[in-house]
Structure 1
Amino acid sequence: MDVTHLLESASLLVPEGIATENDITVRDVWDYLAHDEWQIALSLLEEFGNGHPLPLAFWEQLAEAAEQLRLERSATWCHWRCSEIRNGMIRADLTLRSATEARRKTPIAGHGVLRPMWDVGNLSPTGDTAVSIAGLWVEGTPSLEPGGRATVRLVPLTPSHWTHVTSGQRINMHEDRTVAGTAVVLEVHLPAAAMPTT
């Protein structure tokens, strides 16, 4: 499918009547598509996903369009959002330990490259702490310095390890045996398959 069709298909998945923070609607996206302004249309469609849950197909189509347009950062972000839908997502306020307190001396890349271990309260069969891996995306900045603080998005590698995590819970980040940072959970979004039935 070409870029225009991908973006048109994605826009059809946005519920009618919703708008971005800047009052942009799907009609505005269609105007940009009519003038072959694909990059602007893609950026606007990404904004719809910031405030409204949209289906996996929406993000898959945006990811493919971004790849065809060679917009690496947008493609990475859209693939990340696909992972959030499949595996769930935890938003948290993370504070890294300073370079004098922890092993890390360099900034963390903010775009989902790092997959640290997290102590979310699970225990091993022997009663020891069992850590769980989650990818990390830093919101609003390309990197996070040692000692820095930012809102992060976590995508669990094994979603079932995270189903008991709740807002307000403190979790520790590890890159080795020592604590590299501490986060306070702000939001928990389980994958559809893990959501409790009513």
Structure 2
Amino acid sequence: MDVLELLESAGLLAPGAAADPDDPTVLEIWDLLAHDGWETVLTLLEEPGSNPPVPPRIWADLAAAAEELHHARSAAWCRWRRYEARDDLVIRAELTLPPAAQGPRRTAFDGAGVMRPLWDIGRRTPDGGPDLAVAALWVEHTPTLGPGERATVRLLPLTPDRWRGLRPGDRITMHEGRPVAGTAVVLEARRVYGSG
């Protein structure tokens, strides 16, 4: 099965042509895929509210297709989306890193889900200290994020149930050790398959 057939079978692309003048055409989709624009393609195709959520098995198939085409970042993105669907949780936030002179980070990090920092999401230990939680971090639409920069990120918690109470507007902090390594404002915290 080729990539377009996978997208059609997932209900992400109307067969043959775009159903609406604002929808992407098959040629536009192929052009983006040819230039490793999978993140953009999948984001575009998921936006219409009438489509059902993409099941984890389709994300796995898309990851395999991206690997066959030697698109490593696209394959990683599809695996990331598979985990979000599996965990039934999408968390997006606006993350700001302090400048190198003010924070612990001196260099940029890979934005493709490699980093798994600790996060203060507002939970407390019995003695009143922060109960930090682990979540992998994906930087949207850019390969790296460095000191003094800001970007929209996605978080993939190690223990999703601990994160379900987050709401848009909540402030959370990223830690790579004792000092705060970044601050974030939650933009979206939602279930993939339902409300709550």
TM-score scaled by length of structure 1: 0.79
1:50 is displaced (CA, Å) by: 4.6
Q: Secondary structure at the match of 1:94?
A: strand
Tell me which residue corresponds to 2:103: 102
Between the aligned partners of 2:163 and 2:180, the Cα distance in structure 1 is 19
Q: Secondary structure at the match of 2:59?
A: helix
| Paired residues for 1:144-155 under 5 Å | 144-155=145-156
Between the aligned partners of 2:36 and 2:139, the Cα distance in structure 1 is 24
RMSD after superposition: 3.0
Between the aligned partners of 2:178 and 2:113, the Cα distance in structure 1 is 22
| Paired residues for 1:1-198 under 5 Å | 4=2, 7-14=4-11, 23-25=23-25, 28=26, 39=34, 43=38, 46-52=42-48, 53-87=53-87, 88-190=89-191, 192=193, 196=196
Contact 1:134 1:156 in 2 (8 A): yes
Between the aligned partners of 2:9 and 2:35, the Cα distance in structure 1 is 17
Q: Secondary structure at the match of 1:122?
A: coil
Contact 2:140 2:151 in 1 (8 A): yes
Between the aligned partners of 1:152 and 1:180, the Cα distance in structure 2 is 14
Q: 1:22 to 1:61 in 2, by over 3 A?
A: farther
1:57 is displaced (CA, Å) by: 2.4
Q: Secondary structure at the match of 1:126?
A: coil
State the AA in 2 paired with 1:136. L
State the AA in 2 paired with 1:129. P
Between the aligned partners of 1:173 and 1:63, the Cα distance in structure 2 is 28
1:55 is displaced (CA, Å) by: 2.2
Between the aligned partners of 1:180 and 1:111, the Cα distance in structure 2 is 18
Between the aligned partners of 2:143 and 2:41, the Cα distance in structure 1 is 21
Q: 1:121 to 1:99 in 2, by over 3 A?
A: same
Contact 1:14 1:48 in 2 (8 A): no
The unaligned stretches of length 5 or more in structure 2 are: none
Instruction: Select the structure that is richer in helix.
Output: 1
Q: Secondary structure at the match of 1:141?
A: coil
State percent identity of aligned pairs. 43
Paired residues in the alignment total 185
Say which is worse superposed, 50-59 or 122-131, in terms of deviation. Answer: 50-59
1:39 is displaced (CA, Å) by: 4.3
Q: 1:173 to 1:47 in 2, by over 3 A?
A: closer
Q: 1:157 to 1:110 in 2, by over 3 A?
A: same
Q: 1:191 to 1:39 in 2, by over 3 A?
A: same
Contact 2:12 2:45 in 1 (8 A): no
Tell me which residue corresponds to 1:35: none
Between the aligned partners of 1:101 and 1:19, the Cα distance in structure 2 is 50
Contact 1:171 1:183 in 2 (8 A): yes
